[in-house]
Structure 1
Amino acid sequence: MAEHEHGRLMPETHTTVRSEDWDSRDLSGESHSQVAFVDVDMTEATGQGAAFSGCTFRNVRFNASVHSDAAFVNCAFIRCAFFDATFTGCKFVGSVFGDCTFNLLKVAGGDWSFVGLSGADLRGASFAEVRMREADLAGARCQGATFRQVDFAGASFRGADLSRCDLRGSELSALDPLTVAVKGAVIDLQQAAMIATALGLDVRSI
Structure 2
Amino acid sequence: MAIRHERTGPGPSPDRGPGPGGERVVRGEDWYGRELGAGDTYTGYTFYDTDWTEVVDEGAVFDGCTFSGVRFNASRHIGAAFTNCTFRTCNFFDARFERCKVVGSRFQQSAFALLEVHGGDWSFAGLPGADLRKVVFDGVRLREADLAGARLEGAVVTGCDLGNALLSGADLTGADLRGSDLSSLDPGTVRAAGAKIDLEQAAVIATALGYEVG
Same fold (TM over 0.5): yes
Query: Gaps (5+ residues) in structure 2?
Result: 1-21
Give 2:29's match in structure 1, choosing from 20, 33, 49.
Answer: 20
CA apart distance, 1:201: 1.0
Structure 1 equivalent of residue 109 of structure 2: 99
Shift of 1:14: 5.4
1:59 and 2:60 correspond:
no
Partner of 2:204, secondary structure, is helix
Counterpart of 2:133 (choices 110, 123, 130) is: 123
Aligned counterparts of 2:75 and 2:210: Cα–Cα separation in 1: 45
Q: Distance in 1 between matches of 2:138 and 2:62?
A: 22
Q: Equivalent residue for 1:173?
A: 183
Give the distance between the partners of 1:162 and 1:100, measured in 2 at CA. Answer: 19
Asked if 1:203 is matched to 2:213, the reply is: yes
The equivalent residue for 1:191 is 201
1:36 matched to 2:46? The reply is yes
Query: Could you tell me the TM-score, scaled by structure 1's length?
Result: 0.92
1:47 Cα offset (Å) = 1.9
| Structure 2 equivalent of residue 146 of structure 1 | 156
Over the aligned positions, Cα root-mean-square deviation in angstroms equals: 1.0
Q: Aligned partners of 2:86 and 2:109: how far apart in 1?
A: 11
Amino acid at match of 1:190: E
| CA offsets 1:20-59 (integer angstroms, 9 cap, x no match) | 0000000112110000000000000002110000000000
> Larger Rg: 1 or 2?
2
Mapped partners of 1:76, 1:47: distance in 2: 18
Distance 2:95 2:106 in 1: 17
Residue of structure 2 equivalent to 1:6 = none
Count of aligned pairs? 192
CA distance in 2, matches of 1:25, 1:186: 39
Q: Deviations over 1:55-80 (max 9, x none)?
A: 00000000000110000000000000
SS in 2 for 1:32: strand
The residue aligned with 2:15 is none
Q: Matched residues in 2 for 1:107 and 1:162: separation? A: 17
2:97 aligned partner: 87
Q: Take 2:112 and 2:23, find their aligned partners in 1: how far apart are those partners? A: 28
Whether 1:71 and 2:81 are equivalent positions in the alignment is: yes
The one-character-per-residue Cα deviations of 1:98-141 (angstroms, maximum 9, x if unpaired) are: 00000010000000000000000000100000000000000001
Distance in 2 (alpha carbons) for counterparts of 1:51 and 1:189: 39
Q: Give distance in 2, aligned partners of 1:160 and 1:194.
A: 18
Partner deviation per Cα, 1:125-167 (whole Å, 9 max, x = no partner): 0000000000000000110000010000010001110111000
% identical equivalent positions: 56
Q: Which 4+ runs in 1 deviate beyond 2 A?
A: none
